[in-house]
Structure 1
Amino acid sequence: MPNLRFLKVYKSKDDGNDLLHIPEETEFPRRLRLLHWKAYPRKSLPLRFYLENLVELKMRQSQLQKLWEGTKALTNLKKMDLSWSFNLKELPDFSNTTMLESLVLRGCKNLVEIHSSIGNLRRIEFLQMSFCVKLQVVPALFNLAPLAFVGM
């Protein structure tokens, strides 16, 4: 499915018995623009996950501990929602995520640090970090867009 642009995967049960195995060599389509995956079962995205066309990443209640290693070219990403991803411990380098407008981290209770690169995102209009009870490191300076909303 190389031309797939929108992918939404819904969790059908809330009982914790999700038996879904995603092989390590799994590749998402290069042209993917929208990825919504409630309760994503892996600790990180696949190594060969191409992000350059992604506009929206919504992975609520995921098992993610981190998204990926290093800096990725997220030049088109506008919205990222990782709400209630209890295992998330760190965020990636956002240096190449120049279009990001909305970042939702609500309920990421094990998130300890916000990468300093987030302070350079000029288009952020909505940033929510409520219920991030272990958050210890937050950049001292945020260059937020005018009229930006920050929910803590």
Structure 2
Amino acid sequence: MNKILTLSANAFLKMKRLRLLRVICHSNCRDLVYLSSELRLLDWTGYPLKSLPLSFKPENLVAILLSYSNIEQPWKENKPMHKLKVINLQGSENLIKTPNFKMAPNVESLVLEGCTRLAYVDPSVGVLKRLKLLNLRGCKSLRSLATKIGMDLLKN
């Protein structure tokens, strides 16, 4: 049952309990700025904005998959994200620095491969005691990385 559903940006305002969102958008999607605070999964390849909307409350988010996006910094404020386990920003060439991870201490997978402008990984990456995967392959502009990363669980 393959149906294509076209939604206006305002339609998302009515989806207060939306938990899984996978966006496949080949045209202008900049109007989709509302994200439900109930989201568990946000999968949006090519996310068009520089950061997540300030109104978004990500406390229920488990995975954020924004590969090949225009993101410069995923979130600017420290919002509690204790359920967050997966961050994939692969190929997001505009990413300059990672956010502070103190409010997201349970991240297990952090994929930043191909983030060619990434220069700064916040030292709070050291609080990620459950981190199993840290992929920085192709981050050719990297200038700063925490000297203490909880490498107990990192896999080769």
Indicate the residue corresponding to 2:17 in structure 1: 3
Which consecutive unaligned segments of at least 5 residues does structure 1 have?
Answer: 13-17
* Other structure's SS at 1:57 match: strand
Indicate the residue corresponding to 2:112 in structure 1: 105
| 1:22 pairs with 2:36 | no
Superposed counterparts of 1:24-39, under 5 Å: 26-39=33-46
Q: In 1, Cα distance between the equivalents of 2:25 and 2:17? A: 24
Indicate the residue corresponding to 2:144 in structure 1: 137
CA RMSD for the aligned pairs? 1.3
Instruction: Return the letter of the residue paired with 1:76.
Output: K
Q: In 1, Cα distance between the equivalents of 2:152 and 2:23? A: 32
Q: In 2, Cα distance between the equivalents of 1:122 and 1:74? A: 15
Q: In 1, Cα distance between the equivalents of 2:70 and 2:80? A: 23
Percent of pairs with identical residues = 34
Q: In 2, Cα distance between the equivalents of 1:131 and 1:86? A: 10
Instruction: Return the letter of the residue paired with 2:76.
Output: E
Work out whether residues 22 and 42 of structure 1, in 8 Å CA contact, stay in contact via their aligned partners in 2.
Answer: no
Shift of 1:11: 4.3
Q: TM-score, normalised by structure 1?
A: 0.88
Work out whether residues 93 and 117 of structure 1, in 8 Å CA contact, stay in contact via their aligned partners in 2.
Answer: yes
Superposed counterparts of 1:43-122, under 5 Å: 43-122=50-129
Instruction: Return the letter of the residue paired with 1:81.
Output: N
Q: In 2, Cα distance between the equivalents of 1:45 and 1:123? A: 24
Q: Which runs of 4+ in 1 moved over 4 A?
A: none
Greater C-alpha Rg: 2
* Other structure's SS at 1:118 match: helix
